[in-house]
Structure 1
Amino acid sequence: MPLSGTLLAVSAFAELTTALDLGTARAPHSLSRKLSLGSGTGAGKADRVFSDRRTLAASATEDLDLAGSLVDAFGATITFARIKGIIVAAADANANNVVVGNATSNAWATLLGATSTLTLRPGAFVAVGTGVADATGYAVTAGTGDLLKIANSGAGTSVTYDVHIIGASA
């Protein structure tokens, strides 16, 4: 089944201004990146996608198995060999943080390392994409390096997060 319309885009814009005697000085700053992938498994291509809204109970954790237990929109089990793009977004209404990374075993370490984490405060998000010429992406090793841990940082309330993963099966 071909994958089409695969796009990951991020953009930031800010403008500094200051009043001068006879006008206003402006310094615009912007940075944009876009990753558009074709269907397949090589450089600039992807053939698998996982997308879900998930909720973790207070103080709970879960391991997303990137090679063998995630299910796509049609009910087929997904096995990623390479991740080309990932977005994780914490819900605005969360009281606790969403913590990404640091699985106890078989950690997917090619993005954050085996023990590092990324903390997403309520409403925060992170997006990571590979370059279109990158055939490797972030490698997934089934059975030994394929678990992405997601954790609720505290007690008392659940957290909700969205996750979108684009990758290749080979």
Structure 2
Amino acid sequence: MPLSGTMLAVSAFAEQVTAIDLGTSRAPQSLSRSMSLASGTGAGKADRVFSDRRTLAASGTEDLDLAGVLIDAFGATITFARIKGLVIAAAAGNTNNVVVGAASSNPWATLLGATHTLTVRPGGFVAVGTGVADAIGYAVTASTGDLLKIANSGAGSAVTYDIHIIGASA
């Protein structure tokens, strides 16, 4: 099933301001990146997407199997061979953090390594994208390197997070 309008964009802007003798000095600083992907599996292309809002019980964890278990919006099973974009956003109402990475077996290690994690604080988000010239992206190896662990950092309350994965089947 072809994808259309696949895009990931991130933008940051800040301006430092200070008073000087005869006015105000400003130093605007910005960084923006975006990628638009055509439908397919090569460089600058994607043909699979998974998007969901999920909740983990207090101290709960789950392993998202990127190769053959996730279900797309039309009920079809998705097998990613390469991840081109990933966005994870923790709900603002969470008390605990959402921890990403370090599955105990078969970890998807091409992004964070096998044992590293990333903490997404309540209301926070993380976004990762590849360049449009990148044909490889973040490789997924079925059965040995395909589990993305998501964990609730603490006891006492559940956490909710949104996840959006864009990738290719080959």
Scaled to the shorter chain, the TM-score interval is: over 0.9
Question: What is the rounded CA distance, in whole Å, between the counterparts of 2:153 and 2:140 in structure 1?
Answer: 25
**C-alpha distance in 2 between matches for 1:93 and 1:36:** 31
Query: In 2, distance between residues paired with 1:22 and 1:34?
Result: 39
Deviations 1:17-52 (A, max 9, x none): 001121100000000000100000000000000000
Percent of aligned pairs with the same amino acid: 83
- Which residue does the alignment assign to 2:32? 32
Residue 79 of structure 1 corresponds to which residue in structure 2?
79
- Alpha-carbon deviation of 1:158? 0.1
- Relative to the length of structure 2, the TM-score reads 0.99
Letter in 1 for 2:157: T
Q: CA deviation at 1:165?
A: 0.1
Q: When the two structures are aligned, how many residues end up with a matched partner?
A: 170
Q: State the match for 2:13 in structure 1.
A: 13
Structure 2 residue identity aligned to 1:167: G
Unaligned runs of 5+ in 1: none
> Residue 111 of structure 1 aligns to a residue in which SS?
coil
Rounded to whole Å, the distance in 2 between the matches of 1:120 and 1:129 is: 17
What is the 5 A alignment of 1:112-151?
112-151=112-151
**Pairwise CA RMSD:** 0.4
For 2:140 and 2:23, the matched residues in 1 are separated by 55
Amino acid aligned to 1:22: L
Deviations along 1:118-142, one digit per CA (max 9) or x if unpaired, are 0011011100000100000000000
Runs of 4+ residues deviating >6 angstroms: none
Structure 1 CA distance for aligned equivalents of residues 134 and 121 of structure 2: 30
Distance 2:7 2:132 in 1: 11
Q: In structure 2, what residue type is equivalent to 1:53? A: R
Does 2:69 match 1:66? no
| Matched AA of 1:89 | A
Post-superposition Cα deviations, 1:53-76, rounded to whole Å, max 9, x if no partner, equal: 000000000000000110000000
Could you tell me which residue of structure 2 aligns to residue 110 of structure 1?
110
Q: Deviations over 1:134-153 (max 9, x none)?
A: 00000000000000000000
Tell me, what secondary structure is at the counterpart of 2:110?
helix
Q: Which residue of 1 aligns with 2:93?
A: 93
Which residue matches 2:54? 54
Who is 2:23 aligned against?
Answer: 23
